[in-house]
């Protein structure tokens, strides 16, 4: 219920008006304050003409020979002063003595008073109103503190949000079928706990979802609650941590008290590493408040009765820093790793996120899934959203394949900077740099396929070479790593051979190859000198655990590691140099084509490496794009014709494309290219898209 504070507004308004009137009474044009001593000195020297005694023991003084001389001292005066209660009579006596002992030529000082009763009453009323306003504000503040929604007095209560009737289902979670199977048992227990109890089985107390950011861990938890139809308590790990001692532990107790009142239910703690990291001293630990909160969480998880109906789920992407007591059996019994989706998973995720988007007929999610290796569900959702924004920007009626590929390039490398002024010299250097990557990428047997080479600046890169992996390989062999390092050095090698100088454009390549070579030596054990010994770590460092730890390698071994890294990179550099020297003609032609056309694709790269001339390649590019432009125009005309033919406003039986139809067009089988596309294409369309994969397949590698 909304409270009415109109009375308070009126009190404040009246107090302000009276206060302004009260203070305006004493505010004058020449408001200047002096001390009593200065007044007595002026009085003794015969400078005072008149004195006006106002309320509150204030005296206004008019001096002789000033601009205020002869005027009303109540309004015009030279200065004023205050006296205490005891000093009031002394001032009067001084004035009387001065008037009785006047010498010739001096004017009698007249001391007058205004109505003290009125002014005293005004003062009393003013101060009473001020006190009333302060009391009113105090009452409002106290009521606010005691309010149920105010957290000042409820600081120890849990801020978890309880949701019922969750609409998220497993159909909204795609690309993780194995993870779904792990959670089916939890849903079945929440729906039918009796059969597990009769069998003597104990359902896991806690389930820990582990995986990279954006893989859908939170979405999984909501889907479990939605499928089971139980209340869902969600809270972040950081919500437990507070600056006040004991608040975190109190909130943990409050959270599980609420859960026990709403059994069966699911308690979900997102980013649990904020409160569940390893206990102990060090720069990253030693926080007593956080450790108290963790201790209380451990107690609550251990205090569950067998099959109590409370399932605690948590999500994190830093399971390596969690306290071992949190992940032991009896607390978080089951850990489910939510991995990045494979090509089939990415296709399913794309279909889910495309439900509310009109898709053009040339969109094939199989191709999009192949060109997005390593992308999570969040990445794919962002990709389709970016494609929809680009479609609106380009005034398209539906999201086309070109919008999706442009969105992918924008997200990976940044927006294209076609308006950037690039000199012919820089354009030539970039062309040779990217041609070096492309030639080696084409010739080396263990690298991914070259699909696009461009010298158009994008993001911080002056140009880039995109590679598409042939499959979602889990492991990289030593041969592939060495060829990848060689390909990445292609830009620098091309600069050395053609320009006889080097630029800073290979800085990103150098960093990448150094990291790869270091992992080959220290992590993967791929050197004969050091053998299969783990010599370093990968991943992030947890300061509270790793700070101050003893060295695991000697200075001599560290020196050998550096030598092996240099050996690998130098070996690859020599190999790349030898290959490019043998194919200087192809390198020169590719650079010339890039300068002329700015962007080439797999087809052009293949023609160049097969020995085609500059003129032949340029002619092929012109014909290819002219054909595609004609096909695009034809497709647009056919779509418009089909739309116009189906948009019959006079036919009540016309389908969902009728804007006057009350029946929505969602989920209907229609040939309208502007209608929702569920990704189900005919086999002929699939084959047609496979022929165009060389244009749309992109994986960034070797940017300039």
- Cα–Cα dist 41/128, whole Å: 38
Q: Is 63 within 8 Å of 69 (Cβ atoms)?
A: yes
First to last CA, the chain: 63
Q: Is 689 within 8 Å of 364 (Cβ atoms)?
A: yes
What residues are paired with 468 via a beta bridge?
Answer: 449
Would the CA dihedral through 478, 481, 483, 489 be positive or negative?
A: negative
DSSP string, 418-460: TTS---HHHHHHHHHHHHHHHHHHHHSTTSPEEEEEE-S-BTT
Output helix, strand, coil percentages for the chain, rounded to the nearest 5.
50, 10, 35
DSSP string, 311-330: EEEEEES-GGGB-HHHHSTT
Q: Is 196 within 8 Å of 321 (Cβ atoms)?
A: no
- The counts of H helices and E strands in the chain are 26, 14
Q: Is 694 within 8 Å of 601 (Cβ atoms)?
A: yes
Given the residues 179, 291, 347, 434, the one annotated as active site: 434
Which segments of 232-342 does DSSP mark as H helices, in order? Answer: 247-261, 273-276, 288-302, 324-327
Q: Is 323 within 8 Å of 237 (Cβ atoms)?
A: no
Q: Is 301 within 8 Å of 522 (Cβ atoms)?
A: no
310-316/206-210 β-pairing: parallel
Token pair for 472:
């979602």
Cis preceding-peptide flag for 664 (omega within 30 of 0): no
Token pair for 455:
């010298």
- Cα–Cα dist 397/420, whole Å: 30
Q: Is 258 within 8 Å of 162 (Cβ atoms)?
A: yes
Q: Is 179 within 8 Å of 217 (Cβ atoms)?
A: no
SS3 of 229, please?
coil
SS3 of 52, please?
strand
Q: For residue 272, give Cα distances in angstroms to 235, 295, 411.
A: 9, 13, 29
- Please indicate whether residue 434 is annotated as part of the active site: yes
Q: Maximum distance among all alpha carbons in the chain? A: 127
- Cα–Cα dist 566/527, whole Å: 12
Query: Which residues are identified as catalytic?
Result: 434
């Amino acid at each position: 219920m909304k409270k009415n504070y109109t009375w308070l507004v009126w009190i404040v308004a009246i107090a302000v008006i009276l206060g302004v009137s009260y203070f305006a009474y004493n505010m004058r044009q020449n408001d200047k304050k002096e001390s009593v001593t200065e007044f007595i000195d002026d009085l003794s020297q015969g400078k005072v003409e008149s004195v006006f005694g106002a309320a509150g023991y204030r005296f206004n003084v008019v001096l002789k020979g000033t601009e205020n001389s002869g005027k009303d001292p109540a309004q015009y005066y030279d200065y004023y002063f205050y006296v205490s209660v005891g000093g009031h009579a002394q001032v009067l006596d001084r004035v009387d003595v001065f008037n009785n002992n006047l010498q010739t030529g001096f004017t009698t000082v007249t001391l007058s008073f205004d109505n003290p009763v009125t002014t005293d009453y005004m003062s009393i009323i003013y101060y009473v109103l001020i006190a009333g306003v302060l009391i009113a504000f105090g009452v409002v503040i106290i009521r606010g503190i005691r309010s149920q929604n105010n957290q000042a007095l409820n600081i120890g209560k849990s801020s978890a949000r309880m949701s019922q009737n969750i609409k998220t289902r497993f159909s909204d979670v795609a690309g993780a079928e194995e993870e779904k199977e792990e959670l089916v048992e939890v849903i079945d227990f929440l729906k039918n706990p009796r059969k597990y109890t009769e069998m003597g089985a104990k359902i896991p107390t806690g389930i820990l979802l582990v995986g990279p950011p954006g893989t859908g861990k939170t979405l999984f938890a909501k889907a479990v609650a939605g499928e089971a139809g139980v209340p869902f308590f969600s809270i972040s790990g950081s919500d437990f941590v507070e600056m006040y001692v004991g608040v975190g532990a109190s909130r943990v107790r409050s959270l599980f008290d609420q859960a026990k009142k709403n059994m069966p239910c699911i308690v979900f703690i997102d980013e649990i590493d904020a409160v569940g990291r390893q206990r102990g001293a060090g720069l990253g630990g030693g926080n007593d408040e956080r450790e108290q909160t963790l201790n209380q969480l451990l107690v609550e998880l251990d205090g569950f009765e067998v099959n109590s109906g409370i399932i605690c789920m948590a999500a994190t992407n830093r399971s390596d820093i969690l306290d071992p007591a949190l992940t032991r059996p009896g607390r978080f019994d089951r850990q489910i790793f939510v991995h990045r989706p494979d090509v089939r998973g990415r296709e399913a995720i794309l279909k889910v996120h495309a439900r509310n988007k009109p898709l053009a007929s040339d969109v094939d999610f199989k191709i999009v899934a192949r060109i997005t290796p390593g992308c999570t569900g969040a990445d794919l959702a962002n990709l389709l959203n970016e494609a929809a924004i680009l479609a609106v920007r380009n005034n398209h009626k539906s999201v086309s394949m070109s919008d999706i590929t442009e969105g992918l390039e924008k997200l990976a490398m940044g927006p294209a900077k076609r308006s950037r002024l690039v000199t012919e010299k820089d354009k030539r250097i970039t062309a040779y740099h990217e041609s070096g990557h492309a030639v080696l990428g084409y010739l080396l047997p263990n690298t991914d396929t070259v699909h696009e080479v461009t010298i158009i600046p994008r993001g911080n890169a002056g140009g880039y070479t995109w590679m598409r992996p042939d499959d979602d390989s889990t492991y990289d062999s030593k041969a592939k790593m060495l060829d990848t390092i060689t390909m990445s050095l292609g830009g620098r090698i091309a600069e050395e051979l053609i320009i006889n100088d080097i630029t800073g454009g290979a800085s990103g390549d150098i960093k990448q190859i150094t990291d790869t070579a270091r992992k080959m030596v220290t992590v993967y054990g791929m050197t004969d000198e050091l053998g299969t010994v783990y010599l370093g770590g990968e991943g992030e460092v947890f300061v509270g655990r790793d700070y101050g730890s003893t060295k695991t390698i000697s200075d001599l071994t560290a020196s050998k590691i550096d030598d092996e890294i240099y050996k690998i990179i130098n070996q690859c550099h020599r190999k790349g140099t030898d290959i490019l020297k043998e194919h200087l003609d192809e390198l020169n032609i590719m650079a010339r084509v890039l300068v002329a056309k700015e962007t080439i694709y797999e087809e052009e790269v293949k023609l160049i490496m097969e020995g085609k001339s500059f003129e032949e390649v340029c002619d092929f590019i012109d014909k290819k794009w002219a054909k595609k432009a004609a096909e695009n125009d034809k497709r647009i005309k056919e779509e418009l014709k089909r739309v116009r033919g189906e948009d019959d406003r006079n036919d009540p039986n016309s389908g969902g494309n009728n804007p006057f139809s009350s029946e929505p067009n969602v989920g209907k089988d229609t040939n309208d290219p502007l209608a929702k596309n569920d990704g189900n294409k005919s086999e002929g369309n699939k084959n047609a898209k496979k022929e165009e994969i060389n244009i749309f397949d992109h994986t960034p590698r070797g940017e300039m």
